Structure 1
Amino acid sequence: MTPINRIKLLPTSTIREALRIIDKGAMQIAIVVDENDRLLGTLTDGDIRRGLLNNLNLDDQVESIVFKTPTVARLTDSKEEILQKALTKKLRQMPVVDEENRVIGIRAIEELVRPHRKPNKVILMVGGLGTRLRPLTEETPKPMLKVGNKPILQTIVETFAQYGFTDIVMCVNYKSDVIRNHFGDGSAFGVNIEYLLEEERMGTAGALSLLSPVPDEPFFVMNGDLLTNANFGHLLDYHTDQDATATMCVREYDFQVPYGVVNVEENRILSIVEKPVHKFFVSAGIYMLSPKALERIPKNRFYDMPTLFETLIAEGEKTISFPIREYWLDIGRMEEYERANVEYHEFF
């Protein structure tokens, strides 16, 4: 995603300034924002030409010729959703905005079709025993169970590769030979794979202390038993734009109380709410960490990701959430495995 610093304008900017930006920029577009970077509209060469035909001059403000209803991508939009919007409107680029309509960057559609390889490592935690899925996992590690006629882990690898993230480290333990034999060095899948053997179980963060060399770019950490079509490119952009130390992907979870809830003060009934629904955010098992987060992980001991986040929060580091609204399923039990096989071809 391209930053907008060089192509953004205020509504009080002149048409002359807009022309200069459009002519110099490879995107051939200008983004018009307010003082808080909230999107007001876009400008192209065509918009300017129409303004000049309506007797505007180069020193007039752009406010009157801004296209105020541009098609935008949200941070949580999947690659497929962005491409569909672009194809429908015949767009070559699209502003990407956050939940408050602030412009985070601009997405070139061509890059989605042919993503560039990116340097950010992907650390996949694939050493679990999968005890709740026995007997399926007695000979096969859980990430290698087939969903949609391919291992869960293969879908994860292929999804990251679609976004240009091809430098992958697999933290292995249980039945690691099954994983190694299937993926090898990753070349058959268009990626490069290294393996990190956990001699003892080290938790969802402990194995990160074994990384060598230490990544010098923000990196992904993901559990190897998840199915999701989340936009990993947007996750990286969001983490970087927010200058965060750690980003946790979260998923909304609804819980309905099966009874009427009585709100009481002392012995007086204030209200009765019938079967209320409570909404929570839960960890989605996908994280983005900056290299300095590794400094908090102790060597050679069990350490999980919630503990890492609690440590970072206590030390005042910036820890943020990234909501996933795309398809997401944690395959931990037999009913979830069966559901994944039913839903796979609808979403992948």
Structure 2
Amino acid sequence: MKVVILAGGLGTRLREETEFRPKPMVEIGERPILWHIMKIYAAHGFSDFVICLGYKGDVIRDYFMNYELRNRDFTVTLGSRDLEVHDSHGESGWRVTLAETGQSAMTGGRIRKIRPYVGDSTFMVTYGDGVANVDVARLAAFHSRQHRLATVTAVRPSSRYGELAIRDGAVTLFQEKPQVTSGWINGGFFVFEPGVFDLIEGEDDTLETGLLPRLAARNQLSVYEHEGFWQCMDTYREAQQLNAMWDAGAAPWKVWS
């Protein structure tokens, strides 16, 4: 099953970083968040990726074209330029298709453009700026049992604020930025049947206000409830939080060994 990653947006709320590179290339622990997302899927056996490029897509192209030389030891014979690459790494065997989907296309439009790379098979989709400890193999199995065109993963976001429990003038619980206990939001991590392509109305169509509401109106959108960790990286502050987790060795999305 192919994994489609939306990586073409402008990332305007993270302008401190995205002025120079696309948001999926903003680093967590010296690796792009895009790499972290791919590692999540690969840990569950899904390593055939289609990356939808747009804004500053050449940065992503260059990263993968030079991936082996950036991440492995090698010997080069000067003059002949013969190259011998040594050792292996955890990403060996990944298949990565880099698909240009345009500077201005919206999320639905980008998915429509990668139809030739997906064909008539079930496929996964996620955003290029969010990490989670979602069991995507279990998500795929859940989707298969529902017999609908699409499944969306619902998550409970972390609160921006600390939570206090108070009794008799004293604090009985203090939790810094806990996950909220009520209310679900779209966490990405979708599974789609190829029939969704026929419901996307063009380049300007979005998942969030176009395709997903249409699917819901037709009773063709299942929901997979994820109670675990999930965090998007919309702002510089959130990027700092994710880096702090990684540096502390406490990154819940690190489901690989």
- Identify whether the pair has TM-score above 0.5, normalized to the shorter chain: yes
Inter-partner Cα distance in structure 2 for 1:326 and 1:144:
25
Decide which moves more: 143-152 or 316-325.
Answer: 316-325
The answer to whether structure 1 residue 318 and structure 2 residue 199 are counterparts is no
Indicate the percent of aligned positions where both proteins have the same amino acid: 29
The answer to whether structure 1 residue 281 and structure 2 residue 184 are counterparts is yes
The answer to whether the 8 Å contact 1:171/1:196 transfers is: yes
Give the AA of the match of 2:4. Answer: I
Inter-partner Cα distance in structure 2 for 1:199 and 1:137:
17
1:204 positional shift? 1.7
Inter-partner Cα distance in structure 2 for 1:308 and 1:321:
15
The answer to whether the 8 Å contact 2:156/2:181 transfers is: no
The superposition leaves residues 56-106 of structure 1 with CA deviations (integer Å, 9 ceiling, x where unpaired) of: xxxxxxxxxxxxxxxxxxxxxxxxxxxxxxxxxxxxxxxxxxxxxxxxxxx
Inter-partner Cα distance in structure 2 for 1:152 and 1:254:
19
SS at match of 2:4: strand
- 1:96-245 matches, cutoff 5 A: 120-184=1-65, 189=91, 190-210=93-113, 211-245=115-149
Mark the CA change 1:186 to 1:234 in structure 2 (over 3 Å): closer, same or farther.
Answer: farther
SS at match of 2:188: strand
The superposition leaves residues 222-273 of structure 1 with CA deviations (integer Å, 9 ceiling, x where unpaired) of: 00001112111011000001112111111125889xxxxxxxxxxxxxxxxx
SS at match of 1:285: coil
The answer to whether structure 1 residue 332 and structure 2 residue 234 are counterparts is yes
The superposition leaves residues 1-34 of structure 1 with CA deviations (integer Å, 9 ceiling, x where unpaired) of: xxxxxxxxxxxxxxxxxxxxxxxxxxxxxxxxxx
**Higher relative contact order (Cα pairs below 8 Å, separated by 6+ residues):** 2
SS at match of 1:140: coil
The answer to whether the 8 Å contact 1:127/1:174 transfers is: yes
Mark the CA change 1:175 to 1:241 in structure 2 (over 3 Å): closer, same or farther.
Answer: same
SS at match of 2:36: helix
Counterpart residue number, 1:43: none
1:318 positional shift? 2.5
The answer to whether the 8 Å contact 1:253/1:279 transfers is: no
Mark the CA change 1:207 to 1:186 in structure 2 (over 3 Å): closer, same or farther.
Answer: farther
The answer to whether the 8 Å contact 1:247/1:322 transfers is: yes
The answer to whether the 8 Å contact 1:185/1:194 transfers is: no
Give the AA of the match of 1:337. Answer: A
Inter-partner Cα distance in structure 2 for 1:253 and 1:280:
9
Give the AA of the match of 1:184. Answer: M
RMSD of aligned residue pairs (Cα, Å): 2.4
1:329 positional shift? 0.6
Mark the CA change 1:339 to 1:186 in structure 2 (over 3 Å): closer, same or farther.
Answer: same
Inter-partner Cα distance in structure 1 for 2:149 and 2:6:
20
The answer to whether the 8 Å contact 1:185/1:192 transfers is: no
Counterpart residue number, 2:171: none
Among candidates 267, 289, 294, match of residue 197 of structure 2: 294
Give the AA of the match of 1:341. Answer: N
The answer to whether the 8 Å contact 1:171/1:207 transfers is: yes
Inter-partner Cα distance in structure 2 for 1:185 and 1:288:
30
Mark the CA change 1:295 to 1:186 in structure 2 (over 3 Å): closer, same or farther.
Answer: farther
Unaligned runs of 5+ in 1: 1-119, 257-276
The superposition leaves residues 293-330 of structure 1 with CA deviations (integer Å, 9 ceiling, x where unpaired) of: 1111124x21111221211232x242111112222110
SS at match of 1:202: coil
Mark the CA change 1:164 to 1:253 in structure 2 (over 3 Å): closer, same or farther.
Answer: closer
Inter-partner Cα distance in structure 2 for 1:304 and 1:336:
24
